[in-house]
Structure 1
Amino acid sequence: MFTGIVQGTAEVVSIKEKNNFRTHIIELPDALIQGLETGASVAHNGCCLTVTEITGNRVSFDLMKETLRITNLGDIQVGDRVNIERAAKFGDEIGGHLVSGHIITTAEIVKILTSENNRQIWFKPADLEQMKYILYKGFIAIDGISLTVGEVTRGRFCVHLIPETLIRTTLGAKKLGQRVNIEIDPQTQAIVNTVERVLEHREAQVREAANNDVVQP
């Protein structure tokens, strides 16, 4: 479990490619390496990965086929940086919102608007079905960053970023056309799905009652 508060960025220093499989190695800063052990969970651009090897400050992670398919980690090249968050501990301050590290889709950056001390970025999800979970002022995690949704249109949404977020994360260097990882707020998802099921059940009852009225002599 994570909080969506990115603790820093790390450079990808090596990538080992195999068929539908990738191992990438990042170099963690001293502050994030302390106490880290193999088997621990670390979020890369919001995607929960497991530590497989530690050599000094260099840490290895394996990415399987599904991870490469559903996230932007397959786009990463040596020299790129990723957002990093260590797994949350009981008693930690939750400054963002609870994040599982399970990426549900990616989104393309389709517009960037920059003004003094502010930046607005618009995204188009690869899976437009997920737009029903993206609500005005709702929570969303973008590349592991807990953010508040700004405006929402039929197939796009935006967030507003302060200078601190642009400095501390990779979003400050993002360009048009690049992909980001999206994790929907699970509470929002659960509420929307529940409402949909209730409405479908009520509609089915209405249809059944209407059909019964038609067949009665």
Structure 2
Amino acid sequence: MFTGIVQGIAKVTEIIASPGLNTLVIDFPGARVEGVTIGASVAINGTCLTVTRQDGTRLYFDAMQETLRLTTLGELSPGDTVNFERAARIGDEIGGHLLSGHIHTTATLVDIARPENNVTLWFEIPAEWEKYVFPKGYIAINGASLTIGEVRENRFNVHLIPETLRATTFGSAEQGQRVNIEVDSQTQTIVDTLARLGYDRPPTARS
């Protein structure tokens, strides 16, 4: 499990393509690999991956074909930066909300607004997932637990403070890029349960 509190930014140094998988070689800040073991779980842009090898501050991860298809990991290139979080341990503070590291879908960054001292990012999510997106609800974007601001049909925004921009890759986000999305598990359970009972969320009117 993960908390959705991104622990830092790491850099992709190499991608080794093999039949059915890509091996991602990622260089981490030195202090962040202390105590890491082979088999440990690390969320890379919100996707739970397993450490298969360590070479100093570089960790190796195998991303299977299905993972590459369902997430943005297949779009990474050497030199790209990623958000990371090592798996939570018993006793860790849950500063965000509990995440599984299993990506549900991807979204596209469609607009960036930069008012003074913060940034607002607008994302467009596939229509079938908008039923889980509510104002003031939780969502994980590239592994960061964030509070949803406004929702307009299948678009929503999040407001980011300078510290979030500094500590994550959102500080260099560009319009048009895709991101990994994990919807809040409690919201998903409630919405799906109500749907089974016949209390579907009314469809959003389209213009």
Q: Name the amino acid aligned to 2:56.
A: G
Tell me how far apart the structure 2 counterparts of residues 155 and 92 of structure 1 sit (CA, whole Å): 34
Q: Could you tell me which amino acid in structure 2 is paired with residue 164 of structure 1? A: E
What is the DSSP-based 3-state SS (H/G/I as helix, E as strand, rest coil) of the residue aligned with 1:31? helix
Residue aligning to 2:101: 101
> Whole-Å Cα distance in 2 between the matches of residues 20 and 89 of structure 1?
31
Structure 2 Cα separation of the partners of residues 128 and 23 of structure 1: 32
Residue 206 of structure 2 corresponds to residue 196 of structure 1: no
Which runs of no fewer than 5 residues in structure 1 stay unpaired?
202-217
1:165 aligns with 2:174: no
Show the counterpart of 2:33.
Answer: 33
Q: Which residue of 2 aligns with 1:142?
A: 141
Structure 2 SS opposite 1:63: strand
- Please report the TM-score for the alignment, with normalisation by the length of structure 1: 0.90
Structure 1 range deviating more: 15-24 or 44-53: 15-24
Deviation of the 1:19 alpha carbon = 3.1
1:187 is matched with 186
The CA distance in 2 between the partners of 1:200 and 1:103, in whole Å, is 26
In the alignment, structure 1 residue 10 sits paired with structure 2 residue 10? yes
Q: Tell me the TM-score normalised to structure 2 length.
A: 0.94
1:134 partner amino acid: V
What is the deviation of 1:31? 1.6
Find the aligned partners of 1:19 and 1:122 in 2 and give their Cα distance.
Answer: 36
Q: CA deviation at 1:82?
A: 0.5
Counterpart of 2:171, as a letter, is: G
Q: Deviations over 1:76-110 (max 9, x none)?
A: 11001110100000100000000100000000000
- Superposition CA RMSD, Å: 1.1
Is the aligned partner of 1:84 residue 2:84? yes
Structure 1 55/155 Cα, relative in aligned 2: closer, same or farther at 3 Å? same
Amino acid at match of 1:181: N
Equivalent position of 1:59 in the other structure: 59
**Residue identity opposite 2:169 in structure 1:** T
| SS state at 2:154 partner | coil
The Cα of 1:28 is off from its aligned counterpart by 1.2
1:75 aligns with 75
Once the two structures are aligned, what percentage of the paired residues are identical?
56
Tell me, in whole angstroms, the C-alpha distance in 2 between the residues paired with 1:100 and 1:193: 18
The answer for the alignment partner of 1:205 in structure 2 is none
Shift of 1:200: 6.5
What's 1:110 paired with? Answer: 110
Which amino acid is 1:193 matched to?
Answer: D
Structure showing greater Rg: 1
**AA matched with 1:60:** Y
Matched residues in 2 for 1:56 and 1:16: separation? 18
Whole-angstrom distance in 2 between the partners of 1:3 and 1:121: 21
> Residue 108 of structure 2 aligns to which amino acid in structure 1?
E
Amino acid at match of 2:105: T
